[in-house]
């Protein structure tokens, strides 16, 4: 006599763990933390630590006057870091932004003097030179098929040399008798320095461009996978050249602010080292140096962190050379963290 084996009812397939996590209701705190991002939270923590450390060592460090000094000092580096972020997201790099700012500073002061103290002529000439230099960088990279690092490294030396040649290696002009330059350097809007407002407006415009427009989505696509972007019909040459033109134009704005802040056109002083600051801020802010990842919010937090650190070291009377050491260490740390987070294979070691 045969018996039919009892059958157990089939169990519904288990949902993957990722799906179960995705279906869990998110708390308000979780939503806020998710929108801010782990990278930005780390930067906020580091910034709070730096402020607490130097504030405990010197009570004047957290005074309103000193915070304004930090903001104004970080403005020029912040502008360059914002456009450096765009270039890096595209998969490029612009090492020449500091030299571009120095050249624009000299041009703005010399054009101001040559035009009979017309501030708008000085600003306009600087912006034209900045856009032209950016266009030249992009053309060399695209049509000359030169690696962006090599092309802009050459630009770093060349533009600094041009600025020194046209100025004779000396500061040019004096602009602080002009109300426009005085407003740029010392003016306030709603109690906030004009220079800080310029950084905020440029950063907000670039943030909206990257996050909420098709242009921004195409920029991320190019940096993430240029082959896929090309097959999708995106004009890579147009976007890459536009990124470098934007970089040059905003570097010229930084140069004009440098002129306003120092009172004259500076071929080297004030602009040297800005390229390293901009790259460090972008990397600390979460930009993947391979492209396709990054954001303006993280970059601005990194700019604030670097500005607070440099100011704190200065207030404590620590040798300025240590600022370079700290900046280089932070850049290496940011890249190492990216490598570990992305699980990239270590150079020279088996996978």
CATH number reported for the structural domain that contains residue 139 in this entry = 1.10.3470
Please indicate, yes or no, if residue 260 is contained in any of the structural domains.
Answer: yes
Does 174 reside within a domain? yes
The answer to whether the CB of 186 falls within 8 A of the CB of 253 is no
Q: 136 is written with which tokens?
A: 């030249």
Q: Residue 101: is its pLDDT beyond 50?
A: yes
| pLDDT at 99 exceeding the cut of 90 | yes
Instruction: Read off the pLDDT of each residue in 217-232 and give the average, rounded to a whole number.
Output: 93
pLDDT band at 324 (very low <50, low <70, confident <90, very high): confident
| 2 occurs within a structural domain | no
pLDDT of residue 147: 94
User: What is the rounded CA–CA span in Å between residue 12 and residue 14?
Assistant: 6
Using an 8 Å Cβ cutoff, are 258 and 123 in contact?
no
Confirm whether 271 is domain-assigned. Answer: yes
Query: What is the pLDDT at residue 350?
Result: 54
125-129, 139-143, 158-162, 325-329, range with the lowest pLDDT: 325-329
| pLDDT band at 343; cut points 50, 70, 90 | low
Rounded average pLDDT over 51-58: 90
Whole-number pLDDT of residue 18: 47
Query: Rounded mean pLDDT of the chain?
Result: 86
Tell me the whole-structure pTM to 2 decimals: 0.85
Q: Interior CA angle at 306 toward 190 and 205, to 5°?
A: 50
Residue 103 falls inside a structural domain: yes
Q: Which domain holds residue 82?
A: 75-338
* Residue pair 260/184 in contact by the 8 Å Cβ criterion: yes
Give the phi and the psi of residue 39 in degrees, each rounded to 5. Answer: -60, -45
What's residue 234's pLDDT?
A: 92
- Number of domain units in the chain: 1
pLDDT at 151 over 70: yes
- Output the pLDDT for position 10: 53
State the Cα–Cα distance between residues 111 and 119, nearest whole angstrom: 8
Can you tell me the mean pLDDT for 249-273? 89
CB 257 within 8 A of CB 184: yes
| Local confidence band at 32 (pLDDT 50, 70, 90 cut-offs) | very low
pLDDT at 37 over 80: no
* Mean pLDDT of the region 253-261: 94
Q: How far is it, in rounded angstroms, from Cα 267 to Cα 150?
A: 22
pLDDT tens digit sequence for 169-202 = 888 888 989 999 999 999 999 989 999 999 999 9
Orientation angle between helical segments 296-315 and 194-212, nearest 10 degrees: 150
Say how far residue 227 (Cα) sits from the centre of its chain: 25
| Residue 303: inside a domain | yes
Distance CA 346, CA 351 (A): 8
Structure tokens at 238: 């147009």
Asked whether residue 241 is domain-assigned, the answer is yes
What are the CA-CA distances from residue 131 to residues 24, 104, 222, 328 (Å)? 50, 10, 22, 29
> What mean pLDDT comes out for the span 91-98?
93
φ, ψ at 147 (rounded to 5°): -55, 135
- Name the band, by pLDDT with cuts 50, 70 and 90, for residue 164: very high
Q: Does residue 163 lie in a domain region?
A: yes
What tokens appear for 163 in the block? 């600025």
């Amino acid at each position: 006599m045969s018996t039919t084996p009892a059958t157990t009812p089939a169990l519904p397939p288990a949902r993957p763990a990722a799906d179960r996590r995705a279906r869990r209701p998110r708390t308000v705190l979780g939503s806020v933390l998710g929108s801010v991002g782990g990278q930005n939270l780390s930067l906020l923590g580091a910034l709070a630590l730096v402020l607490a450390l130097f504030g405990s060592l010197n009570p004047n460090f957290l005074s309103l006057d000193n915070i304004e000094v930090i903001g104004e000092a970080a403005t020029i580096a912040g502008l360059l870091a914002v456009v450096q972020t765009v270039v890096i997201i595209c998969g490029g790099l612009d090492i020449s932004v500091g030299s571009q700012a120095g050249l624009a500073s000299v041009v703005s002061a010399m054009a101001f003097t040559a035009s009979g103290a017309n501030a708008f002529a000085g600003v306009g000439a600087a912006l034209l030179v900045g856009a032209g230099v950016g266009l030249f960088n992009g053309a060399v990279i695209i049509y000359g098929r030169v690696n962006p690092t090599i092309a802009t490294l050459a630009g770093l030396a060349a533009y600094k040399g041009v600025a020194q040649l046209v100025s004779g290696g000396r500061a040019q002009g004096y602009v602080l008798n002009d109300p426009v330059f005085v407003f740029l350097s010392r003016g306030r809007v709603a109690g906030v320095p004009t220079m800080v407002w310029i950084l905020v407006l440029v950063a907000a415009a670039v943030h909206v461009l990257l996050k909420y427009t098709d242009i921004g989505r195409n920029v991320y696509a190019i940096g993430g996978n240029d082959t896929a972007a090309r097959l999708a019909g995106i004009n890579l040459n147009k976007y890459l050249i536009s990124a470098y033109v934007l970089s040059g134009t905003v570097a010229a704005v930084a140069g004009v602010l440098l002129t306003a802040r120092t009172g004259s056109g500076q071929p080297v002083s004030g602009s040297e080292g800005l390229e390293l600051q901009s790259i460090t801020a972008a990397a600390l802010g979460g930009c993947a140096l391979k492209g396709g990842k990054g954001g303006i919010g993280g970059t601005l937090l990194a700019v604030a962190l670097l500005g607070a650190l440099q100011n704190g070291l200065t207030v404590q009377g620590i040798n300025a050379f240590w600022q370079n050491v700290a900046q280089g260490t932070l850049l290496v740390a940011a890249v190492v963290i990216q490598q570990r987070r992305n699980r990239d294979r270590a150079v020279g070691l088996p996978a």
